Amino acid sequence: MDDLMKDDCCAPKGDFDLAVIGAGSAGFSAAITAAEGGKRVALIGHGTIGGTCVNVGCVPSKTMIRAAEALHGAQTAHRFPGLNSEAQVADWSALIAAKDDLVATLRQKKYADLLPGYGGVTYLDEGPARLVLGGVEVGGRRITAPKVIVATGGRPAVPDIPGIQDAPTLDSTSLLELDRLPESLIFLGGGYIGVELAQMMAWMGTRVTIVCRSRLLPRTEPEVSRALTETLRAEGVAVVDGATYDAARRDGARAVLTVTVDGADRDLTADRLVLTTGRAANTEGLGLAEMGVETDARGAIRVGDDMQTTKAGIFAAGDVTDRDQFVYMAAYGAKLASRNAVLGGAERYDNAAMPWVVFTDPQVAGVGLTEAQARAAGHDVKTSVLTLDNVPRALAARDTRGLIKLVADRATDRLLGGVIMAPEGADSVQTLAMALKFGMTTKALGETIFPYLTTVEGLKLAAQTFDKDVAKLSCCAG
């Protein structure tokens, strides 16, 4: 990190306009926003520069998932008559090394190399930081700043299961650092991290079991959860849902998880347990309570819509907060925090049209309210569910796994939300996000021109399904 603008004899010793704790995506977004506005910023390191996304989250996991997709594509080529192909992992260590090289390259180019271009930002990496009156204490001295933004991120949480500390376990970080491909894994948790990594490892050749307390992707539509469960089971992944975690233990070099399902106890055994049951906020040692900064039950910092904490002058953004745990929302929230803190802004956090993606296959992507959320909000709800066997793109690809569900207000016909489960759902959901952002009705979406033989055309068909049977339409006739 010699090329960073670190603290030295010539760096200012105080009188910053803003101190930002944490140098991940949220921290960089906050610091750059303030610096572009002419403010002097102390960017205080917290962990590896670049934070979760580039180092241990989005970047490494998605490149590994893409590699697994290449394997799976070859293995399933036989769905087209006349094709036959095989593929397997030939050198796991080479795959891991390539992932590490990509991470190091992006960390340097998208984080470390950016700092010298912002003269208003001084990077300080002198150990843990602590909030104090008038600024931040770091490295044994006080950094004076009237406004502070906490952006220290999060980490994988360890579930409260008797014996879990003694069992051989991995988390989402250490899984992607293994020096050999394991024969078997048990994933605890059916959220987006768990299902993404579980399917990836199954495609790589590992025997995989997913255990979850309720259902897969419990926050999305139940139709999607059922369809994803069926898909994974068809691929050989064991899904144990509706389970209670009773205990974990080590048995020689292997792990044993005891669960209760439908009133019966079961012992599940694998090389390792992979803990994907959620994330914990990095708030230890910051002195939050002493400064009057409140946290929620999982230790995340409570912020208002202006990104300010319960202590005036102290803001927070990213995974350390009680807001959306996505890297793009971390950067967005940090930009708002910076503008509101030191640039005279009065902006409010708005996630009404926030798209989200789960990188399974089929991908699951959504935006807006689910049916249950819309009903809870008081809407008179109507829904449309279109299976992919009604979408020409899926028929041409000989892959009709998935569905599209739209949620709308019955009285106004305005779209409230939707979810797309399709192989190209991630690249289709933004169209639905734009429709929600600009208040489109289902009628307007159904009358919009879409290109034929695309996945996104399924949105048009799903919108038309509210009041007609699209199976009776000829191609392109809608």
**pLDDT tens track for 51-67:** 999 999 999 999 999 99
Of the candidates 349, 343, 346, 344, the one whose C-alpha atom is nearest the C-alpha of residue 324 is 349
Write the pLDDT tens digit of every residue in 353-383.
999 999 999 999 999 999 999 999 999 999 9
- The answer on pLDDT for 314 being more than 60 is yes
The model's pTM: 0.94
pLDDT-based confidence at residue 477 (cuts at 50, 70, 90): low
Of the pLDDT bands very low, low, confident and very high (cuts 50, 70, 90), residue 392 is very high
Asked if residue 10 has pLDDT above 60, the reply is: no
Domain range 356-468, CATH class: alpha beta
Tell whether domain 18-50+111-156+280-342 is in CATH 3.40.50.800: no
pLDDT tier, 47 (very low <50, low <70, confident <90, very high otherwise): confident
Within 13 A of 244's CA, how many CA atoms are on the CB side? 7
Beta-carbon neighbour count of residue 105 at 10 Å?
Answer: 12
Torsion of CA 243, 244, 250, 254, to 10 degrees: 10
What six digits make up the tokens of 450?
């879409």
Residue-range domain boundaries for the chain = 18-50+111-156+280-342, 169-277, 356-468
Residue 126: band (very low, low, confident or very high) from pLDDT cuts 50, 70, 90? confident
Is the separation of the CB atoms in 305 and 349 below 8 Å? Answer: yes
- Identify the pLDDT of residue 15: 84
Cis peptide before 156 (omega within 30 of 0): no
Burial 284-318 (b: 16+ CB within 10 A, else e): eebebeebebebeeebbbebeebbbbebeebbbbb
Please state, as a whole number, how many other Cβ atoms lie within 10 Å of the Cβ of residue 50: 24
> Could you give the CA distance from residue 143 to residue 19 in angstroms, rounded to a whole number?
8
In the predicted structure, residue 2 carries a pLDDT above the cut 60: no
Q: CB-based contacts of 234: which residues, under 8 Å, 6+ apart?
A: none
The answer on whether 191 is annotated among ligand-binding residues is yes
- What's the pLDDT score for residue 474? 67
Are 228 and 364 in contact by the 8 Å Cβ rule? The answer is yes
Q: How confident is the model at residue 1 (pLDDT cuts 50, 70, 90)?
A: very low
189 labeled part of a ligand binding site? yes
Least confident of 140-144, 229-233, 308-312, 434-438: 140-144
Q: Are the folds of 169-277 and 356-468 the same?
A: no
Distance CA 257, CA 33 (A): 47
**Please, which pLDDT band fits residue 140 given cuts at 50, 70 and 90?**
confident
Known binder of ligand: residue 36?
no
51 is in an annotated binding site: no
pLDDT score of 7: 44
Round to whole Å and give the CA distance between 236 and 199. 10
Mean pLDDT of 65-83: 96
The pLDDT assigned to 476 comes to: 62
Question: Could you tell me the fold of the domain covering 169-277?
Answer: FAD/NAD(P)-binding domain (3.50.50)
11-28 pLDDT, tens digit each: 445 589 999 999 999 999
13 is in an annotated binding site: no
pLDDT bucket at 318, cuts 50 / 70 / 90: very high
Best CA proximity match to 122, nearest among 54, 26, 20: 20
Q: Which residue has the tokens 């970047």?
A: 59
Alpha carbons within 13 A on the beta-carbon side of 380: 4
Residue 96, marked binder: no
As a whole number, mean pLDDT of residues 124-135 equals 93
Ligand-binding site membership of 127 (annotated):
no
Given a cut of 70, whether residue 478 has pLDDT beyond it is: no
Query: For the chain, what is the largest distance between any 2 Cα atoms, rounded to a whole number of angstroms?
Result: 76
Task: Categorize the per-residue pLDDT at 473 as very low, low, confident or very high, splitting at 50, 70 and 90.
Answer: confident
Q: In 3-state terms, the chain is what percent helix, strand and coil (to 5)?
A: 35, 25, 40
Q: Is 196 annotated as a binding residue?
A: yes
| Strands, E assignment, 212-347 | 238-240, 243-251, 254-261, 264-270, 272-275, 279-281, 314-316
| Mean pLDDT within 151-174 | 97
pLDDT tens-digit readout, 246-284: 999 999 999 999 999 999 999 999 999 999 999 999 999
**Local structure of 138: helix, strand or coil:** strand
Q: With bands split at pLDDT 50, 70 and 90, how would you rate the model's confidence at 472?
A: confident
The two structure tokens encoding residue 55: 């180092």
The count of residues in the chain is 478
Nearest 5°: the CA angle 122, 125, 129 is 100
| Mean pLDDT on 315-328 | 97
CA distance readout (Å), 264 to 155, 243, 244, 391: 33, 10, 10, 42
Chain CA centroid to CA 10, Å? 40
What's residue 46's pLDDT? Answer: 84
Nearest-CA neighbor of 185 among 255, 244, 243? Answer: 255
285 is in an annotated binding site: no
Average per-residue pLDDT for the chain: 95
